[in-house]
Amino acid sequence: MNYKSIWRPILINRSNRPILSNGEYNVLIIDNTGLYQGKSKIIGRQNGRLYLTNKRIIYFDNDKIDNSIGVELVNIVSLELIDRFLRSSPKVKLFIKSTESTKIISINWTCKICSFINHIKSNFDFNEDELPKCTSCGIKPNKDYLREVIRDSNQKPTTKIVQSSSNGHCPRCTFINHPSIKFCEMCGTELVNFNEELKEDLLDLELLGDEIYTDDKPYIKISFRKGGEKKFYQEVANLIDEISWENIKNKGGVNQNGIKINNNETESRKTNGAGIHALEQIGELQRIQNEVILSTSLDDIEQLMFKYQDLLKLSNSFGLKQNANEFVIPPLNIKKSSSLYHQELSRHISEYLVTYKLTTNSSMITSQDLYAEYNRFLVGSQGFGCELIDSNDFLKSIEMFETLNLPVTLRDYKSGLVVVAPRNLKHIYGEYITEYLKKQEHEFKYLKMRSEMIEEDELNENYGKTISQISKNFNWSYNITIEELEKCIESGLIVIDQSISGTFYYINKFTYIDDDWDDSTEIEEIKLQLIEEQKLITQNLKSEFELKYQNDLIKPNYSFGTIRTPISHSESPSLQDLAGLNFNI
Amino acid sequence: MSKSFEFPKIHSFPPFYTKQPNQTILNQQLESWMNIVLTYCEFYKITSLSIDGIPKFKSTTEENNALPPIFSNDEIKRNCNSEFKHLILQHLIHQHKAEFINQKKPELGIYIYWRSLVGWSDLLYQYVDKTGQRGAILTIYELTQPDDSEGYIPQELKNLDTEFLIKIIKEVLVKQGKAQLLINEDNEIGGVKIV
């Protein structure tokens, strides 16, 4: 029998962590593990991290990411701990559900009354389950008849598969269905879908030996080369219990919201009499009273704890609502003491950065800002109960960006400033700045030209940009901008202009020769653009004027001059357009 | 001289007036400044500048304040601070395009050599040679005579700073053995004999 098909491929994100499905969370992460199928090793899956989530066991290969595979916890029935023996590492044996129960074929039976074709599961238990009714007429079939049908179908399952063809050809009525349809559109017969079966066998796992199981019970083994097996065993056992409990609950087998009723009637006893007996009684009474006080006060603390948990739940639910529409990064779930903690934290931070912070090519964030914002993000997404990252752990994990081959990287500046930036573009920030400055210069020329043409107030500024303007444009912090500008100055891309009004930054033009200074074509273009703009304004003014006075029939003695075409050598040709209008009302 | 000097475009580039921290750029900047100073001085025939960049002596008659200032640009409201001005002048001196009038008293200003001393002396020698005055004793005044009606004196030599002229004669012609300076009883230079 082949049980290798229980392994499934997994999805991996850019920060080299598995993508979890909805409602799934990490329980445990253990490094240095290897996989066995039965008695033999699975080739290429001998050095990896093990992520235990509440739904799956995910093996994440350290050498080749594509080798990562996972197995659903639902498929695990029970487990066994194998202790270290001589040179063999401790292992956990996970028993798989045997195929009898996993491969349930649905069998057709025809209603004797209305001849409608119904389905029944092959594992139908005649002693316990109620007999099914015909979905069409609601009459129960004969028990013996059903038994016969199931027996028949179990005897010849192979012939059935041969009959059906892959392209949705119905084996019963020969109707050709769409390949993705599971039941024949005409007669309702189940179509055997080859595509799906193929997909299941996609994972090509090679074993070091044959697939042999002791006692013929299928199992997989996980070898823990560096320990952690006991914890794993405990957690998996808990999860399996939880899952089976969940199953029972879903079937309605649990009495939910049951409350144990207990009568707390305190009897007050009064002392009467005298002597040693009475004294003893008083002492006894005192003790009981103390006990009551202690227990009630503890009750209060307990109440407080319950309230606290409620509050946490409440804040979590707000967090969920907030992020409902966005892509949510699953929270990190790993113990601080684990050796993998910093690696995982590093991956998580990188994930956070890629999704929220470093979205554009030029974005950067200082390590201080990142530290603060990441912790804020943790609070925001997980509620107030979450554990914040301390600075030592943070530092260790951001230093791991490089070794873990993550999409973000650290940049150090001379002043000791550390910045996190996307990996792909390491040294071209200067280009962004120069590009920005060039654009600003053009803008400035445009504005200046306009102010000259329209005779507005003269612009007093120059086209240089200050640090704050540059930081604002790139959404960088001041420190980053200063450092980047310094780099640009060093490489000669940018020059500075210090005056009483402040320090401005310009593109380096000292290397310009005469032709480079010539911006007459640029100016011409700007002029044309401005003329167009002014023309439009004039046109609008004119039409507005017409609209306003078109009903004014009493004094219609105003006239418009013809719109002259603007003369290009004139300084403000558009104003001459206006001069053509005679507003003599 | 109605036309005023036209500065190159870099003169209206604001960072031009700030000392650049990058050494390579600074060198380029100083080079540009040197060119501007030299062309400016040549245009207005300025032979010496004060250390603040104000023309000290020029052979034209225009008023100083009629000239556009070198080290500032009102249009963009920028000017060099004195430290940077000195740096520029230092650069000129370093490149042998200028010299202090008096080494010991730098505050007196500097000579600007938009034409080298040798060039000047050649000019002078040619003039003397052409006009057949070799061997004759000439006064300094005669050499730079402003109201020279015959028009023999080349335009460049007219109104030349006498101290500058003496410097030319002393440092080039005398050294070459082509001239002799005659000193009168008041210990002043009375005349010059060019042979």
Q: What is the tens place of the pLDDT at every residue in B164-192?
A: 888 888 788 888 878 877 777 777 777 78
Chain A contact for B77 (CB, 8 A cutoff): yes
A118 domain-assigned = yes
CA A54 vs CA A20, A21, A57, B102: distances in Å: 10, 10, 8, 91
- Closest chain B residue to A462 measured between Cα atoms? B76
Q: For chain B, which residues make up each domain, given as ranges?
A: 9-112, 117-194
- Closest chain A residue to B25 measured between Cα atoms? A492
Chain B contact for A415 (CB, 8 A cutoff): no
- Closest chain A residue to B9 measured between Cα atoms? A517
Would you place residue A286 in the very low, low, confident or very high pLDDT band (cuts 50, 70, 90)? very high
Q: Do domains B9-112 and B117-194 have the same CATH topology?
A: yes
Residues of B in Cβ contact (< 8 Å) with A496 = 15, 18, 20-21
Q: Do B10 and A509 touch (CB under 8 A)?
A: yes
- DSSP state, residue A88: B
Is the pLDDT at A249 greater than 60? The verdict is yes
Please tell me the distance in Å from B8's CA to the nearest CA on chain A.
8
Is the pLDDT at B1 greater than 60? The verdict is no
Least confident of A29-33, A282-286, A335-339: A335-339
Please answer whether residues A51 and A347 qualify as being in contact, where contact means their C-beta atoms are separated by less than 8 angstroms. no
Amino acid at B34: M
Residues of B in Cβ contact (< 8 Å) with A488 = none
Domain's final residue, options A401, A426, A451: A426
CA A231 vs CA A27, A28, A81, A236, B174: distances in Å: 11, 9, 11, 9, 103
- Closest chain B residue to A508 measured between Cα atoms? B25
Mean pLDDT of A78-89: 81
Chain B contact for A497 (CB, 8 A cutoff): yes
pLDDT in tens, A13-25: 777 778 877 778 8
Mean pLDDT of A217-235: 84
Which DSSP helix (H) or strand (E) runs through A110? strand A106-110
Q: Counting beta carbons within 10 angstroms of the beta carbon of residue B40, is it exposed (0 to 12), middle (13 to 18) or buried (19 or more)?
A: buried
Residues of A in Cβ contact (< 8 Å) with B21 = 489, 496
Q: What is the CATH number of domain B9-112?
A: 1.10.10.570
Chain A contact for B146 (CB, 8 A cutoff): no
CB-nearest to A498 from B9, B18, B22 is B18
Distance, CA of A73 to CA of A54 (rounded, Å): 8
Q: Counting beta carbons within 10 angstroms of the beta carbon of residue A21, is it exposed (0 to 12), middle (13 to 18) or buried (19 or more)?
A: exposed
- Closest chain A residue to B21 measured between Cα atoms? A489
Distance, CA of B37 to CA of B88 (rounded, Å): 9
Query: Could you tell me which of B170, B24, B14 has the C-alpha nearest to residue B77?
Result: B14
Co-location of A92 and A220 in the same domain:
yes
Tokens of B184: 């009168």
Co-location of A44 and A15 in the same domain:
yes
Q: Which residues contact A462 (CB under 8 A, 6 or more apart)?
A: A444, A497, A504, B14, B76
Q: Do B14 and A462 touch (CB under 8 A)?
A: yes
Q: Do B25 and A509 touch (CB under 8 A)?
A: no
Looking at residue A164, its pLDDT comes to 42
A39 domain-assigned = yes
Number of domain units in chain A? 5
Q: Do B15 and A496 touch (CB under 8 A)?
A: yes
Report the relative pairing of strands A117-121 and A219-224 from DSSP bridges: unpaired
Chain B contact for A583 (CB, 8 A cutoff): no
Q: Do B15 and A492 touch (CB under 8 A)?
A: no
A271 domain-assigned = no
The strand pairing partners of A42, in sequence order, are A207
pLDDT in tens, A450-479: 777 776 555 556 677 888 888 888 778 888
Of the ranges A567-576, B16-25, B146-155, the best mean pLDDT one: B16-25
Please answer whether residues B100 and B50 qualify as being in contact, where contact means their C-beta atoms are separated by less than 8 angstroms. no
Q: Which residues contact A192 (CB under 8 A, 6 or more apart)?
A: A160, A161, A164, A171
Co-location of A220 and A351 in the same domain:
no
Please tell me the distance in Å from A492's CA to the nearest CA on chain B.
6
The strand pairing partners of A12, in sequence order, are A18
Q: CA torsion sign, A300 to A301 to A304 to A310?
A: negative
Distance, CA of A109 to CA of A120 (rounded, Å): 7
Say which residue the tokens 């491969």 belong to.
A103
* Burial readout B2-39 (b: 16 or more C-beta within 10 A, e: otherwise): eeeeeeeebbebbbbbbbbebeebbebbbebbbebbbe
Disruptive mutation site among B12, B22, B75 for chain A (greatest number of A CBs within 10 Å): B22
Co-location of A346 and A219 in the same domain:
no
- DSSP state, residue A190: B
Would you place residue A323 in the very low, low, confident or very high pLDDT band (cuts 50, 70, 90)? low
Please tell me the distance in Å from A354's CA to the nearest CA on chain B.
35
| C-alpha angle A52-A55-A61 in degrees, rounded to nearest 5 | 40
Amino acid at A308: Y
Size of interface A-B (CB pairs under 8 A): 56
Residues in chain A, how many?
585
CB-nearest to B78 from A495, A499, A512 is A499
Judged by phi (left if over 0) then psi (alpha if -120 to 50, else beta), residue B177 lies in: left
Query: Domain residues for A349?
Result: 295-426
Q: Which residues contact A158 (CB under 8 A, 6 or more apart)?
A: none
pLDDT in tens, A160-208: 444 444 567 777 788 888 877 777 888 777 776 544 444 444 566 777 7
Say which residue the tokens 């042999």 belong to.
A212
Tokens of A124: 């139908």
A263 domain-assigned = no
Please tell me the distance in Å from A532's CA to the nearest CA on chain B.
28
Q: Do B15 and A504 touch (CB under 8 A)?
A: yes
Mean pLDDT of A540-548: 85
pLDDT in tens, B28-71: 888 888 888 888 888 888 888 887 777 777 666 666 667 788 88
Predicted ipTM > 0.85 = no
- DSSP state, residue A501: T
Q: Do B21 and A517 touch (CB under 8 A)?
A: no
Please tell me the distance in Å from B108's CA to the nearest CA on chain A.
28
Q: Do A506 and B15 touch (CB under 8 A)?
A: yes
Would you place residue A570 in the very low, low, confident or very high pLDDT band (cuts 50, 70, 90)? very low
Cβ-based neighbour number of residue B140 at 10 Å: 19
Mean pLDDT of A482-510: 82
Distance, CA of A471 to CA of A479 (rounded, Å): 9
Co-location of A490 and A355 in the same domain:
no
A270 domain-assigned = no
Residues of A in Cβ contact (< 8 Å) with B34 = none
Co-location of A13 and A159 in the same domain:
no
Please tell me the distance in Å from B22's CA to the nearest CA on chain A.
6
- DSSP state, residue B5: P
Query: Could you tell me which of A131, A147, A136, A132 has the C-alpha nearest to residue A113?
Result: A136
Looking at residue A197, its pLDDT comes to 44
Please tell me the distance in Å from A569's CA to the nearest CA on chain B.
22
SS3 A140: coil
Looking at residue A190, its pLDDT comes to 74
Q: Do B77 and A489 touch (CB under 8 A)?
A: no
Domain's final residue, options A228, A248, A268: A248
Looking at residue B59, its pLDDT comes to 65
A272 domain-assigned = no
Would you place residue A284 in the very low, low, confident or very high pLDDT band (cuts 50, 70, 90)? very high
Co-location of A299 and A407 in the same domain:
yes
CB-nearest to B14 from A506, A508, A517 is A506
A253 domain-assigned = no
CA A220 vs CA A5, A64, A357, B170: distances in Å: 12, 21, 41, 106
Residues of A in Cβ contact (< 8 Å) with B81 = none
Residues of A in Cβ contact (< 8 Å) with B10 = 509-510, 512, 517
Is the pLDDT at A349 greater than 60? The verdict is yes
Looking at residue B64, its pLDDT comes to 64
Disruptive mutation site among A495, A511, A513 for chain B (greatest number of B CBs within 10 Å): A495
Chain A contact for B76 (CB, 8 A cutoff): yes
Which CATH number do you get for residue A476? 1.10.10.10
Chain A contact for B90 (CB, 8 A cutoff): no
Q: Do A489 and B10 touch (CB under 8 A)?
A: no
pLDDT in tens, B126-142: 888 887 777 778 877 77
Co-location of A77 and A111 in the same domain:
no
Q: Which residues contact B55 (CB under 8 A, 6 or more apart)?
A: B41, B44, B46, B48, B49, B64, B67
Distance, CA of A14 to CA of A17 (rounded, Å): 7
Co-location of A68 and A129 in the same domain:
no
Disruptive mutation site among A437, A485, A499, A511 for chain B (greatest number of B CBs within 10 Å): A499
Least confident of A37-51, A278-292, A374-388, A562-576: A562-576
A276 domain-assigned = no
Looking at residue A461, its pLDDT comes to 63
Looking at residue A273, its pLDDT comes to 67
Say which residue the tokens 């193929």 belong to.
A198
Residues in chain B, how many?
195
Co-location of A398 and A455 in the same domain:
no
Alpha helices in A251-275 (DSSP H): none
Please give the order of strands across the beta sheet that includes B189-194: B137-138, B189-194, B179-183
Would you place residue A290 in the very low, low, confident or very high pLDDT band (cuts 50, 70, 90)? very high
Q: What are phi and psi for residue A286, nearest 5 degrees? A: -55, -45
Q: What is the CATH number of domain B117-194?
A: 1.10.10.10
Co-location of A227 and A87 in the same domain:
yes
| Between residues B93 and A487, the one the model is more confident about | B93
Residues of A in Cβ contact (< 8 Å) with B77 = 460, 499
B contact residues 5-44, partner A, Cβ 8 Å cutoff: 8-10, 13-18, 20-22, 24-25, 28-29, 32
Please tell me the distance in Å from A510's CA to the nearest CA on chain B.
6
Residues of A in Cβ contact (< 8 Å) with B17 = 497, 499
Distance, CA of B101 to CA of B83 (rounded, Å): 19
pLDDT in tens, A116-147: 877 777 667 677 667 777 877 888 777 788 78
Is the pLDDT at A511 greater than 50? The verdict is yes
Mean pLDDT of A311-317: 77
Residues of A in Cβ contact (< 8 Å) with B28 = 510-511
Mean pLDDT of A93-109: 68
Co-location of A529 and A561 in the same domain:
yes
- Closest chain B residue to A487 measured between Cα atoms? B22
Average pLDDT of chain A is 76
Distance, CA of A404 to CA of A524 (rounded, Å): 54
